Amino acid sequence: MSAPNLFLVYVTDVVRATTFYRDLFQIEPVTVTPRYVPFEIAPGVLFALWSGRANQVTEQASRTSEVGLMVPGSAAAVDEIFDRWVAQGVTVVDEPYDDVFGRTFLIADPDGNLIRVSPLD
């Protein structure tokens, strides 16, 4: 069986979300369409923004998953990313704290999708 190779994040405004994720992760999309914008995050693996069909995605939708960014280095590496992203004006959900897997924090994109930064497993 093949491993998953497409990860979709539902957004209400593809243009706004594309700018947010491009700036946050410093990556460029593979292509841009009115409702779907994929970013290749590894060979053959896409992280994509999707607005679905008309009226399918709303800002009130519950967010039950997280986009994760695992970074090498110490707790200071996680704190450095936090400081950089706060300077960019992100919405902070949880400031940096130590958990069972190490230093972590949580932010939200403009639609309320959660993004967690933590150390490499």
CA dist 66 and 118 (Å) reads 12
Note the pLDDT tens digit of each residue in 7-32: 999 999 999 999 999 999 999 999 99
pLDDT of residue 121: 79
Whether domain 1-53 has CATH 3.30.930.10? no
pLDDT of residue 56: 63
pLDDT of residue 88: 95
State the pTM of this model.
Answer: 0.89
Q: Which of the residues in the chain have pLDDT under 70? A: 1, 53-63
Domain spans in the chain, listed from the N-terminal domain onward: 1-53, 65-121
Asked if 1-53 and 65-121 have one fold, the answer is no
CA dist 109 and 9 (Å) reads 10
65-121 in CATH: which number?
Answer: 3.10.180.10
pLDDT of residue 54: 56
Nearest CA-CA partner of 28 in 16, 17, 40: 40
- The token duo for 73 is 């280095």
